[in-house]
Structure 1
Amino acid sequence: MGEDVPAQEFTRADRTRHREKVRRNLDVFARMLREAHFDTDDPLTGLEVELNLVDDDGDPALRNAEALEAIADAAFQTELGQFNIEINVPPARLREGGLTTFEEGLRRSLNHAEERSSTVGAHLVMIGILPTLGEGHLRPDSISANPRYRLLSEQILAARGEDILIKIDGPERLLTTADSILPEAACTSTQLHVQTSPDSFAAYWNASQAIAGVQLAMSANSPYLLGKELWRETRIPLFEQATDTRSEELKVQGVRPRVWFGERWITSVFDLFEENVRYFPALLPIVHDDDPMAVLDAGGIPALAELRLHNGTVYRWNRPIYDVADAVPHLRVENRLLAAGPTVADIMANAAFYFGLVRAIAENDRPLWSQLSFTAAEENFHSAARDGIDAQQYWPGVGQVPATELVLRRLLPLAHRGLEAWGVEASVRDRLLGIIEGRCLTGVTGAGWFTDRMRRRADMDRYDALRATLLEYREAMHTNEPVHTWE
């Protein structure tokens, strides 16, 4: 959920000062894009994974503070709900064995964390939505202790002016309300970062948007919420609704949502930051004392703290990131749409598919987005969230086809080519993209596996079936065998 902020209250004057400061940040950022040297010579990639905590029975364990104390590893951090934690994996270069480094490091860290957190009755589970969550787990008193989360919840509810409505129709129907943003904590994701130059950023962001639908189709892992079978990737509509600052009237007026696919292809990273400032009021109008223009004039690198914090409260599925490391600024695309799990092997297959495909498409001589409407890309995204691996996807030159056919015939070869361009060894490419191929051939993702097991337990009480299936899932998760082979 971003950087820590102290608990506080905001005045009208705070909001006015913040608007002026964030616009000054934006002016400085525009000048930096023209003049500054960004770190582009040897791009890094990154990985973050959000995790759920459960007790021995498979029910949510609201113990993230105790679990983090037991784990005692700075790579693990708190998340919105007390049943969540997150691991930030150190960045790596793909040409230096980055995918293998990610995989080995993630497995080692998760095994250590499970061993330690289990001593306080909290076990790690990688799944997009914890299926055993009940209404009682999503009350405000389940928010983590970090003041940022409660402050964000209060600001979103204040902007909205009414409780949050969650309404999702799938095989079953969910209709409920919430008096905090805690339902958003049900969404646990895998976040992939790819560093890029200012000149290449638009191509990588556009490519990420264009492939978002097929990414979701291949990785769906969130079929249940509050006891209901809903979308194959229920995280998507849940996140869109759980942090929506708009009343029904504002939606009708066309006010843009804070969880946003976007509305157009871009020509520069500046387009996205400028949209953030133009369209979205600040949720956390915190103002720092620095003058970013003076810092830049003096030869320094401005932190642009207000612009970055504001960007962290606009929840794009592919988010632009400005950051500074070792006194050098850099840009990256944060791909935020994938569910966590089911296994580390599955996560790394998803990462390989994204990193390879996004590079191949971004660096193609003829831009894909010149042949694909933005509306079609967004329709692909929501169709894949609803139907998972069974979704139909529109693709230029092919038309409307099953996602599995599109991946097998067109996109896997592109992903191989992109990974080769990154410098990934053939054996690693073959192994990880072979997992994506295996899902296509079997038609099995995490969502499909879970719903199939639930149907076998149709005669049981719903929550008893969810607990039993989740415990079976957790056991298979520890084998690190890809989900399509669990049979």
Structure 2
Amino acid sequence: HGAEPYCAGLLPTLRPADLTRRNMSPRGRYAVIDDALGRAGRGLRVSGEQRLRMRSDTFCAQGAASSWQIHLTVRPEEFTRVHNAAQLMTAPVLAVAANSPLLLGRRAWDESRIPWYEQAFGQHRRRVAPADRRSGFGHGWLRGGVRELAEEAVRRYAPLVPLCSDGDWDRPLRPGGPPALDELRLHLGTLWWWNRPVYDPAGDGHLRIELRALPSGPTPADMVANTALLTGLILDRAAREPGGELPFALARENFYTAARDGMAARLWWPAGPAAPVRLAARDLVRALLPRAAAGLAAAGVADDEVQRWLGVVEARVLTGRSGAHWQRRTHRALGSDDRATVRRYLELSSTGAPVHSWPAPQARVRGKAKGTGRGGSSR
């Protein structure tokens, strides 16, 4: 079709008229979910360098968000520790991976995709507590494994899609195999937690944690580097720590602070028996790089790959140039021209070079040439 891939958390040239139900996929599942969530007017708003407000009567607005989602297979007995590690480590990685600062032509959060996605489900209303939102960060450290999350999902949230499987709920896909749990899997698929449990009955069955918080882009190299950093930190933390030493309220605060401020974020971090400390995200990630390397090495990743991909992260942190930083500066330099920003982004991302190596944008020169007054050359 002559299309060009644009890897970013949000496409700057989108406009409200693009995010309507007429542009929804014809698959029935989406219309059913949209109707079940209620089509009363939803107010979406994100404040940042510039403010944005929009009214919508459909959850199609979340179609503006493009994530880079990683599925990490987890043994049942390790699920609690790995999930808690993912909840703790997501914020610092998100801070240095942010790539969604331009929302409908406005410069908002460094990762505007996060609040926009949540609000698109109509959850901005004050009467909806954070723990009861169908998309969000969660409400506490996990203690009882994946069963705790499944029970919470059934207890707190009404089903959205009225489909039932044939036969008993615990029937296996094949004789002697694990139960299919069709309705439960469908129900979990209508909860959009940023770190979400996935049960798959295929083969002998397995559990995964879907890590949904990272944005797409800017290049495949950046996405591999983000993956290496996040999975390395999760695996290392889960192997060393039984749980979170940080109050969960601070872990949740970290997540939204990282999304808002990107590399400029200051994040709470556990300090052993002492009170949590607050650190600059860039300094924290640099300090955590050896831990990520240890986690990847323990998982059998070759040392040259560990050094290559974590080196991309280190260079990004040293230069201070994330995808969000580059887009924000370029958008300003080009006079808030969304299309020119997208064209320049495409030119550079097509090279495959990580974003920290992209040249700084040059500001447009505005104004008229003025003569010397006596036939001299103009400047």
Structure-2-length-normalised TM-score: 0.90
1:286 aligns with 2:286: no
Distance 1:396 1:189 in 2: 28
Per the alignment, residue 376 of structure 2 pairs with none
1:188 aligns with 2:62: no
Tell me which moved more, 195-204 or 255-264: 255-264
Per the alignment, residue 303 of structure 2 pairs with 426
1:377 aligns with 2:377: no
What displacement does 1:156 show?
1.2
Distance 1:272 1:339 in 2: 24
Distance 2:193 2:167 in 1: 28
What displacement does 1:297 show?
12
Conserved? CA contact 1:390–1:443, under 8 Å? no
Distance 2:110 2:134 in 1: 22
Conserved? CA contact 2:236–2:291, under 8 Å? yes
Instruction: Pick the structure with more strand per residue.
Output: 1
The structure 1 residue matched to 2:34, chosen from 153, 165, 171, is 153
Distance 1:372 1:480 in 2: 38
The structure 2 residue matched to 1:223, chosen from 78, 86, 101, is 101
What displacement does 1:433 show?
0.2
Conserved? CA contact 1:389–1:443, under 8 Å? yes
Tell me the C-alpha RMSD between the 2 structures. 1.7
Conserved? CA contact 1:352–1:429, under 8 Å? yes
Per the alignment, residue 80 of structure 2 pairs with 202
The structure 2 residue matched to 1:473, chosen from 345, 349, 357, is 345
Per the alignment, residue 138 of structure 1 pairs with 19
What displacement does 1:123 show?
1.8
Per the alignment, residue 140 of structure 2 pairs with 264
CA deviations over 1:204-255 (Å, ceiling 9, x no partner): 11000001111110100000111111100001100110013x583632x777
**Structure-2 change in CA distance of 1:197 and 1:479 (3 Å):** same
Distance 1:249 1:197 in 2: 37
Distance 2:340 2:167 in 1: 54
The structure 1 residue matched to 2:182, chosen from 294, 305, 330, is 305
Distance 2:201 2:92 in 1: 32
Q: Structure 2 counterpart of 1:395, which letter?
A: W
Per the alignment, residue 123 of structure 1 pairs with 4
Corresponding residue SS for 1:144: coil
Corresponding residue SS for 2:114: helix
Distance 2:170 2:292 in 1: 41
Corresponding residue SS for 2:207: strand
Q: Structure 1 counterpart of 2:351, which letter?
A: T
Conserved? CA contact 1:258–1:313, under 8 Å? yes
Corresponding residue SS for 2:5: strand
Conserved? CA contact 1:157–1:164, under 8 Å? no
Distance 2:338 2:90 in 1: 29
Corresponding residue SS for 1:199: helix
Question: Tell me, which stretches of 5 or more residues in structure 1 are unaligned?
Answer: 1-116
Per the alignment, residue 325 of structure 1 pairs with 202
CA deviations over 1:42-100 (Å, ceiling 9, x no partner): xxxxxxxxxxxxxxxxxxxxxxxxxxxxxxxxxxxxxxxxxxxxxxxxxxxxxxxxxxx
Conserved? CA contact 2:44–2:124, under 8 Å? no
Question: Tell me, which stretches of 5 or more residues in structure 2 are unaligned?
Answer: 360-379
**Structure-2 change in CA distance of 1:248 and 1:416 (3 Å):** closer
**Structure-2 change in CA distance of 1:415 and 1:254 (3 Å):** closer
**Structure-2 change in CA distance of 1:148 and 1:168 (3 Å):** same
Distance 1:367 1:350 in 2: 24
CA deviations over 1:166-205 (Å, ceiling 9, x no partner): 0111111111111111110000000001111110011111
Conserved? CA contact 1:192–1:334, under 8 Å? yes
Distance 2:139 2:64 in 1: 26
Distance 2:349 2:282 in 1: 24
Q: Structure 1 counterpart of 2:113, which letter?
A: R
Structure-1-length-normalised TM-score: 0.70
